[in-house]
Structure 1
Amino acid sequence: MTTNITTTAPGALPTELTSFVGRRHEVALARRALGESRLVTLTGVGGVGKTRLALRTAMEVRRQFGDGAWFVELASLQDPLLLPHTVSKGLHINDGSADPTADLVDWLERRHLLLVLDNCEHLVEACADLVGKLLAVCPGLRVMATSRQVLGVNGEQILPVPPLSTPGSSEPPLDDASHYDSVALLVDRARAVVPDFEVTPQNRDILIDLCRRLDGLPLAIELAAVWLRVLSPPQILDRLEDRFHLLTTGARGGILRQQALDTAVAWSFDLCSPAEQLLWERLSVFFGGFNLGAAEAVCPGDGIPRDDVLTLLAGLVDKSIVVREQSDSRTASWYRMLETIRQYGAARLAAADQLREYRMRHRDYYRSLAAQFADEFFTSKVADWLVDLRREHDNIRAALDFCLNEPGEAASALEIAAPLWNWWHTHFLQEGYRYLLRGLALATEPTSTRAYALFATANVAIHLSEFDRALAMLTEAGTLAERLGDEVMAARVRQCQGHALVHSGHPAEAIPLLEEALNDAQRLGQPREECRSLLLLSLAAGLLGDERDQQLARRTVELAEQHGAKASQAWGLWGLGLAQWRVGEYAGARASLRAGLRMFQAMENFNGGSFCVQGLSWCAAFSSPDEDAARLLGAAQAVWRSIGGNVSQEMYRQWDERSEELLRDSIGDARFESAFAEGASYDLDQAMATAFAESRGTRGPSPQGQRARPSVPGGLTRREWEIAQMLAEGLSNKEIAERLVISRRTAETHVEHILTKLGFRSRTQVSAWVTDQRTGDAS
């Protein structure tokens, strides 16, 4: 970003008229890169601060160059043939000759200097050609370029410039908001227009949210700060929906394309080919990111052949419009746009009267995705599906919101939400329930779509203990299934009615329904429904003291295993663990529940995991009623709370209450309440880890115990320090997850937090830092 910079002398580094905020880590990386490579290119979207970072770096290193550091601004240059002339002028070289490149070579080959070329993206080929020639024959020359696209010169070291640090939406912000560079910049610029501006407990969260909404982009933050002269932070936040209109007043001395956020983004847009521009616009209908398959399904047509999508997408990645996220070898590459970039594309799509068309295509894609998930749930693909759907969460929400707000599309919302009911169970019970209820309220036609949605909603309602509502929906679904002649749906309705009766404390009434559903599933060739009916029959039998419960649970596990259906297999292991626990086979119960918990964690199915943790807490209470068992019972409550579930269901409440009685009798009320409260205060990871620690006969993590230990370096939590040491061992995220018995996604989140807190970009840097810390401790 080059706003608010003036030049004291032609060819010298510009003087910054505003303070430089943050970026200590990026400056250090840029300095190191200049020491390792003769060409360093800072890349990133418009407004992310490439120019300021390049200038600050140049100022800090210029004394290392005998002939100083020089800055050449290329933003206003349109003709690539004039590039050598422009560079010569910036270096105070007389460019009157017919061969300015030769003059540059003659002048530079005897000098030792740093040349900063700013805004190379629209002249990338010319810049690459000139820089390549100069570096080849001028040994004392080093070049730092800023560009939204890499130059592609041999030996080029690329340094992506990220937005300023901002707390993630799911990350509790630090008490000192100025720790985040984005907030520090906002406050600094705010004080330039409102000298007494301060961060207070009342505005702290609003300022953080404002920086989040502005994607941490320095240009956007600076332009927003100007409005603090006349608007309060909450008012600016309210108006950010129309950010491209609001942020239109910059400093008069700034370059035209940085006078407003839309101008900065428009500059990037103009640099794209017509086909890339079309793709940018159409990709704006994705929320939270997308993979190549989604782009190829939604974006082709009218100027973009399907076969060209990959090439065009690669062009947008090269130009820093789209960012490719790191992914493991198992998953497809994932691409994102900053929200600012996405909104610009959406605005253009709307202006062309095409936004609805491509939102409909987006809807069609996610409707198909939901149906495919349902079809493949009882297969070996389910584990991958459950992980991938979490990544697609924002898109699923966007598709549902579009359908529920678009006249005549409520049935489409049900066609997306209903097939995903098994996914809503994993961690999104309340959210899925709301979407399904909204769709049912709008799409009232007596169709097969409504029957399926009633069945799906009832399944979610059961897990929320809304049994009466679930049974009412199932009655309507059964009537529709009978009217439509849908035998499969009629059988599923009977099964779900049995499910509701089991969990509401009426197992004897449930068994006839479940037995009929089991026979129907076998007759109709529905192994998924057969498996589910077997599990529910096992639960009902166990409640009635029927010794068939273990046999039914084992049949559930075996049938699921035959089909590679790991989600159903994990539920079967849970049911088997309960059956073993009921007869005092505690070792076997722990083994079954622990195996189920591992499978649920691998699939990021936290609802299933919560059932297993709860079962393990009963095993502990009944076999060894001590403080560890009380802590685990509290941890089970913490897991349920974390997913929004309700554990007041009759069949579980009685065992929770019995466990509590045993524990109070054994260790006393005070010790029970203290240990239970400790477990109930755990986060999801701590609660899961406590369950595994108990099953090994050792204590789980204790926040009180952690506070009593010596502090860990770098401001890391103890778990983050533990993971940092594993990174130093060379472990992958998957291996870390397996060692700590956490999900891979959780391991990835911990690694991201470590990198952010330490200001690093790579695992290699973390490894070196850990080595330094250990060396320091040893000395």
Structure 2
Amino acid sequence: MGARDAPRPVAPAAARGGGARRALYVALAVKYAPCTMETAGNLPSELTGFVGRASEVDRLRALVAGSRLVTVTGAGGVGKSRVALRAARLVQDRFRDGVWLAELIGLRGADLVDHTLAEALRLPDHTSRAPRKALAEHLADRELLLVLDGFDRLAEPCAELVADLLRRAPGLRVLAVGRRPLGITGEQLLPLQPLPVGSDAVRLFAERASAVLPDFAVTAHNSAAVAELCARLDGLPLALELAAVRLRALSVEQVLERLDDRFRLLTGGDPSAPARHRALRTAIGWSHELCGPAERLLWARLSVFAGYFDLEAVEYVCAGGGIAEDEVVEAVAALVDQSVLSRQEGAGGGPARYRMLDSVREYGAGWLAALGDEARVRRRHRDWYLGLATWCELDWFSPRQAEVAERVAADLPNLRLALEFSLDGVAGEPSEDPAVGQYLAGTLWFCWVGCGRLAEGRHWLGRALELPAERSEARAKVMWVYGYVALLQGDSAAALAVLQECRDEARAAGNAVAEAYALHRLGCLALVSDDMPRAERFIDDALLRYRSIGELNSNVLMAQVELAMSVAFQGDVEQAVRLAEEVRDICRDHGERWTLAYALYVLGYAAWLGGEPERARRLAEEALAIDHAFDDLVGAVLALELLALITEGEGAPHEAAVLQGAAGRLWESVGLRLFGSRYFNAPHAVCEQRVRAALGEAAYAAALGEGGRLGLDAAAHRALNRPRGAGRGEQHGAVRAPVPREPAASPEAAG
């Protein structure tokens, strides 16, 4: 009995309701895609008041208006990021495609700069192009401002990237933030000095102090001491904020006394260093000295984190060896109180998250290195995120799938650090066990494929395969995941080579799981290569193997969706519907949504073929909402193509052409348009022929251009918010004939 005929679980009737669930998915699209063309960008909101700097902000706005590259420079803690972000907010209306912030603080590897920038720009590139090329093509005709913060550790590769993008994207402007210039021809500099100690510095200190002590005010009694403190700290905003925290326990005069008596040596050091550098070290060192032993040790160990992290991670990574587990919470609270850690409320009522400013992290990292404990703590860090990845992979096939996508996005900086440590080791010592790095890279398949990070995934998977390691289950998994990513990017040769090698090695080693996955992905490769009989044969075989070993997850269900596509393209639409409906029911039983979107796409296409345009639209919209929520560009662009076809049938040829234009733009980030497949292209060709006939060549080209200016967010928003009944004055009727076994030779035959 073949996999198509084998019995499969069916969801209970109560689990099949569509209306409320569809509304939930559309709401997800709104939640995850707040950025339309009118509100493009990702600038964070300000959490505290902005004090002073009016002339610097005005000067920076003028520089950005007149120059394509502006760099704000200055010492750590001088307020460079705040000034840059304030200016960026004030000029964002000038940029058609918005203002985007890319934070590079914490990156260690130069090869991650391009990926991090693509992530910040929400550019889920599915092609096999180098990330640099994808970025250049994405930015080529856009008008946006890119704020590049914290490039200091990777100044040379950042400078190379910025210079290349500015050459290739005439509408791009860059506002960089660092301790030194990038050194690129044409760069305009705004060296940022500390706040004037007699005015703005006092205002900032007073505002931050009143946040600690609501009744605090600068009075005749303490004004001289406040002014002296601001002068002693050289008007550095970070130093002033750290000093203000001390007012919980000390008066201003006591703060001054302790600065003078206990930290005289900290203001020394290199006599050639600027006073502001010594002042910052004074402020940070002072906070360090006032910490208890457990707090100091925790500070040092926390320096292995990047970006935001939560309390559970801190407890696992940092407890032990001088910090009892029950001391961690109190130590974290103390570091938050002292502004060593900043706290952020968790999304949707989730747990709070924490992060360190870069200057504070560097101070802690110095202590960790002096303690000789860096390798051990980074290993603990890796182990935690290895466990997180394992948990997320399991929960990807569950009602917590959306939570997993959010969690992976939030923890991506730390997952990158864990991958670097697993693959490269630390402090000149190579990785102790290459299989661990391979396991981590392969386990994150859902992040690379399901959450739209194919290019970065292929980077890590490729590095994992380069490791000198013996055959293992971890290496086999990396191979089939690498093949999966490569085929989705359109790199058929690379996909075929690694998948065949995976199949042969798995067969020789008796690894039934890896062999099933290799066969499945070879079938998927045949599907996008228009070899439908071969696709059906391989995927059918893989499904039987999955069933025999008890494998059931998103990949297995995706295999059945792909089988449905292969039989539909061979003319058996009825069987395709049965297969897709079974997947839909199982997905809803398990709370799975990523694969569900593809099943809905197949069902929507079948409904369109069967003359049910309203049902087809509901299914296609639901599919698009889910794909958009997960940043799955492959699924989203397929759904957009289908919605264009449905929209044309509703008598709205202009809107259909706009959606085709948007899809055409997005295909550039997927790879070959419609995979280069005659089968996948047939409905597109039908839509194109009819819209051209309805609009005429000039109007069709104009509508395509209109759609081509839409990114994924704007395109999805437009498609999902189309008024019902709009444009129905020109009915064309749905295509009713099943797709032929061989692709049509012309659009007329395909229809």
With normalisation by structure 2, the TM-score equals: 0.61
Q: Which residue of 2 aligns with 1:736?
A: none
Contact 1:74–1:120 at 8 Å: present in 2 too? no
Cα 1:333/1:272, change in 2 over 3 Å:
same
What displacement does 1:658 show?
4.3
Cα 1:642/1:499, change in 2 over 3 Å:
closer
- Identity across matched positions, percent: 29
What's the CA shift string for 1:441-492, capped at 9, x where partnerless? Answer: 2244221111100111111112101122212111111122222222222222
What displacement does 1:246 show?
10
- After superposition, residues 266-305 of structure 1 pair within 5 angstroms as 266-305=285-324
What's the CA shift string for 1:704-760, capped at 9, x where partnerless? Answer: xxxxxxxxxxxxxxxxxxxxxxxxxxxxxxxxxxxxxxxxxxxxxxxxxxxxxxxxx
Greater shift, 305-314 or 258-267, is seen at 258-267
* Match status 1:591 vs 2:738: no
| Cα distance in 2 for residues equivalent to 1:66 and 1:379 | 60
Q: Which residue of 1 aligns with 2:202?
A: 55
Q: Which residue of 2 aligns with 1:125?
A: 249
* Match status 1:662 vs 2:690: yes
**1:480 alignment partner, one of 476, 481, 505:** 505
Instruction: Read off the aligned partner of 1:636 and give its amino acid letter.
Output: A
Contact 2:202–2:227 at 8 Å: present in 1 too? no
Cα 1:292/1:640, change in 2 over 3 Å:
farther
What displacement does 1:369 show?
1.5
**Gapped regions of structure 1 (runs ≥ 5):** 1-18, 26-44, 78-115, 132-144, 147-222, 224-243, 700-779
| Cα distance in 1 for residues equivalent to 2:619 and 2:635 | 13
Q: Which residue of 2 aligns with 1:531?
A: 557
| Cα distance in 2 for residues equivalent to 1:59 and 1:280 | 27
- After superposition, residues 379-398 of structure 1 pair within 5 angstroms as 379-398=398-417
Cα 1:508/1:118, change in 2 over 3 Å:
closer
What displacement does 1:290 show?
0.5
Cα 1:356/1:555, change in 2 over 3 Å:
same
Q: Which residue of 2 aligns with 1:424?
A: 448
| Cα distance in 2 for residues equivalent to 1:65 and 1:309 | 36
What is the RMSD of the two structures over their aligned residues, measured on CA atoms? 3.8
| Cα distance in 2 for residues equivalent to 1:119 and 1:486 | 61
Q: Which residue of 1 aligns with 2:663?
A: 636
Q: Which residue of 1 aligns with 2:703?
A: 675
Contact 2:490–2:671 at 8 Å: present in 1 too? no
Q: Which residue of 1 aligns with 2:715?
A: 687
**2:53 alignment partner, one of 13, 21, 27:** 21
| Cα distance in 2 for residues equivalent to 1:58 and 1:465 | 57
Cα 1:75/1:645, change in 2 over 3 Å:
farther
- After superposition, residues 256-267 of structure 1 pair within 5 angstroms as 259=278, 261-267=280-286
* Match status 1:545 vs 2:571: yes
- After superposition, residues 338-417 of structure 1 pair within 5 angstroms as 338-406=357-425, 407-408=430-431, 409-417=433-441
Cα 1:526/1:65, change in 2 over 3 Å:
closer
- After superposition, residues 433-512 of structure 1 pair within 5 angstroms as 433-512=458-537
Cα 1:306/1:613, change in 2 over 3 Å:
farther
Instruction: Read off the aligned partner of 2:325 and give its amino acid letter.
Output: R
Cα 1:470/1:279, change in 2 over 3 Å:
same
Q: Which residue of 2 aligns with 1:72?
A: 225
SS, match of residue 490 in structure 2: coil
| Cα distance in 2 for residues equivalent to 1:686 and 1:72 | 54
Q: Which residue of 2 aligns with 1:737?
A: none
SS, match of residue 527 in structure 1: coil
SS, match of residue 721 in structure 2: helix
- After superposition, residues 88-127 of structure 1 pair within 5 angstroms as 119=243, 121-122=245-246, 124-127=248-251
| Cα distance in 2 for residues equivalent to 1:659 and 1:250 | 67
Q: Which residue of 1 aligns with 2:544?
A: 519
Contact 1:417–1:435 at 8 Å: present in 2 too? yes
Larger radius of gyration: 1
Instruction: Read off the aligned partner of 1:72 and give its amino acid letter.
Output: A
| Cα distance in 2 for residues equivalent to 1:664 and 1:517 | 42
| Cα distance in 2 for residues equivalent to 1:245 and 1:662 | 76
**2:337 alignment partner, one of 315, 318, 321:** 318
Instruction: Read off the aligned partner of 2:640 and give its amino acid letter.
Output: V
Instruction: Read off the aligned partner of 2:446 and give its amino acid letter.
Output: N
- After superposition, residues 210-229 of structure 1 pair within 5 angstroms as none
What displacement does 1:58 show?
9.5
What displacement does 1:575 show?
2.5
SS, match of residue 627 in structure 2: helix
Which protein has greater RCO, CA pairs closer than 8 Å, 6+ apart?
Answer: 2
Q: Which residue of 1 aligns with 2:171?
A: none
* Match status 1:615 vs 2:642: yes
| Cα distance in 1 for residues equivalent to 2:54 and 2:373 | 41
What displacement does 1:512 show?
1.5
Q: Which residue of 2 aligns with 1:575?
A: 602
What's the CA shift string for 1:640-681, capped at 9, x where partnerless? Answer: 456789754424345444433332232122111111111111
What's the CA shift string for 1:215-262, capped at 9, x where partnerless? Answer: xxxxxxxx9xxxxxxxxxxxxxxxxxxxx99997224xx7xxx53544
Cα 1:71/1:340, change in 2 over 3 Å:
same
| Cα distance in 1 for residues equivalent to 2:447 and 2:487 | 15
SS, match of residue 469 in structure 1: helix
| Cα distance in 2 for residues equivalent to 1:662 and 1:20 | 60
Instruction: Read off the aligned partner of 2:662 and give its amino acid letter.
Output: A
What's the CA shift string for 1:571-617, capped at 9, x where partnerless? Answer: 32223223323444322221111112223344454543333223322
| Cα distance in 2 for residues equivalent to 1:248 and 1:346 | 24
Instruction: Read off the aligned partner of 1:362 and give its amino acid letter.
Output: H
Q: Which residue of 2 aligns with 1:555?
A: 582
Cα 1:523/1:689, change in 2 over 3 Å:
same
Cα 1:658/1:259, change in 2 over 3 Å:
same
What displacement does 1:324 show?
0.9
Cα 1:270/1:656, change in 2 over 3 Å:
farther
SS, match of residue 320 in structure 1: coil
Greater shift, 379-388 or 582-591, is seen at 582-591
| Cα distance in 2 for residues equivalent to 1:698 and 1:392 | 43
